[in-house]
Amino acid sequence: MIELKTREIDQLIRAASEARDQAYAPHSHFYVGASLWIPGGEIVVGCNVENASYSLSICAERVATATAVTKGYREFHAIAIASVGGVSPCGACRQFLSEFSNDMQIIMTDVLTGARQIRRLSQLLPDAFDASSLPVT
Ligand code: THU
């Protein structure tokens, strides 16, 4: 099980906070940035993107994940999420992330205080639904 070093966590949090500056959240005014740590040390970021048709809005975590997949990555060691209050990922994002790495570190950081909480995705989404439940084709 991979555990990021403190210096790597700091770097990942900085990237999430910077990505948060690009958040498009004119409806909720809740701005979120996310950053994924790719094996090897590259970082891929995302921010939330809202829509006037509210349900089309997409969280920062899923934007970062889809961007990383587009770059050819399929495995992630950690994700940092930057917001006011240091929120934890929503249920949809937990499921979305678990497709790739169910034991990745989830680093939740409050941009106002710098406080951080670290969990494993398997703690936030035990007994995840995954491909093992699907019929073999
Ligand atoms: N949001 C995220 O981007 N990530 C989270 O972990 C929680 C919620 C976004 C979705 C929406 O644009 C706004 O925050 C309010 O829910």
User: Which CATH superfamily includes the segment(s) 6-124?
Assistant: Cytidine Deaminase, domain 2 (3.40.140.10)
CA–CA distance from 77 to each of 19, 23, 56, 117 (Å)? 19, 23, 28, 16
The conformation of residue 133, written as its DSSP 8-state character, comes to G
Distance CA 132, CA 135 (A): 8
pLDDT in 10s for each residue of the chain, 137 residues: 899 999 999 999 999 999 999 999 999 999 999 999 999 999 999 999 999 999 999 999 999 999 999 999 999 999 999 999 999 999 999 999 999 999 999 999 999 999 999 999 999 999 999 999 899 86
Tell me, using a 6 A CB cutoff, whether residue 20 lines ligand 1. Answer: no
Phi then psi dihedrals of residue 44, to 5 deg: -120, 135
CB atoms within 10 A of CB 49: 16
| Residue identifier of the C-alpha nearest atom 9 of ligand 1 | 59
Q: For residue 60, report the distance from its CA to the centre of ligand 1, in Å.
A: 7
Domains of the chain, residue spans? 6-124
Looking at the annotation, which residues are catalytic?
61
